[in-house]
Amino acid sequence: MMQRTMGTTTAIGMTAVVALSGAVRFTSTFKSLDAGAVSFVGKKVAALVITNDDSLRVAGEESMVRELNARGIQGVATYRIAPKEELRRADTAKPWFEKANLEGVLVVRPVSVDRETYTTGTWVTSNYSTLWGYYGYGWSAVYVPASARTQTFVVVETTIYSVPRNQLLWAAVSETNNPRDLRGYVEELAKEMVKEMQKQGLARSQPR
């Protein structure tokens, strides 16, 4: 049985057990030391949900866009940027992202617990530290929800990348044990993620 290990390290800004309002709970977060030099206010940021479930992807990305727009960021749903088949690989997706003149990408990826273990070193590995390194990795292990009769523990990871820097700025892990309601959970998570961007100075302090 795989352990769900959530480590901490103050040197790179990792904190553990962050309780949020509503149903969303961040169990681990990471902040790059360079995050303070970046602001997405007034800039274009793509919302991306990595999943094969098209309804979940569209609903989640649109929810993220609404929250981004409310805080002074020009949100754009990734499914609107390019055809679905082009978005599943880093080499084919990258030109579309560059054409869209994006400054950042907000990514949500549901992950089943038996596929991922989060430790203190997770966020600085080559799989996560760059946007395009993560992009290919993220799509290579897409979570497929269990049947309606099965209750499965699911980890949902969220990452924020700078496109020009090709760098991870912020990341978080949250948990849910009801994948049958994963769409509602992702929509709620989108709200909390953009609030967290606000706290980190990446978004406007108050929605208008």
Which residue ranges make up each domain of the chain? 19-199
Q: What does the alpha-carbon distance between residue 181 and residue 203 come to, in Å, rounded to a whole number?
A: 28
In a structure prediction context, what are the per-residue pLDDT tens digits for the chain, which is 208 residues long?
Answer: 333 333 332 223 333 223 333 456 777 888 888 877 888 889 999 999 998 888 888 988 998 999 899 888 899 999 999 898 999 899 999 999 999 999 999 999 888 765 566 666 777 777 888 888 888 888 876 665 554 444 556 788 889 999 999 999 988 888 776 556 677 777 777 777 777 777 777 776 654 5
Q: What is the CATH number of domain 19-199?
A: 3.30.160
Closest CA to 171 of 200, 206, 144: 200
Q: What does the alpha-carbon distance between residue 95 and residue 166 come to, in Å, rounded to a whole number?
A: 14
Q: What does the alpha-carbon distance between residue 153 and residue 116 come to, in Å, rounded to a whole number?
A: 12
The helix or strand, by DSSP H or E, that contains position 54, with its residue range, turns out to be helix 54-70
pTM of the entire predicted model? 0.74
Res 80: pLDDT: 95
User: What SS3 state is found at 68?
Assistant: helix
Res 1: pLDDT: 31
Q: What does the alpha-carbon distance between residue 116 and residue 121 come to, in Å, rounded to a whole number?
A: 13
User: What SS3 state is found at 115?
Assistant: coil
DSSP track, 118-176: --TTGGGSTTTSSHHHHHHHHHHT------TT----EEEEEEEEETTTTEEEEEEEEEE
Cα angle at 167 between 59 and 90, to 5 degrees? Answer: 60
Enumerate residues 6+ apart whose C-beta is below 8 A from 172. Answer: 18, 26, 28, 29, 30, 157, 158, 159, 193, 196
User: Do β-strands 104-112 and 74-77 pair in parallel, antiparallel, or remain unpaired?
Assistant: unpaired
Res 190: pLDDT: 79
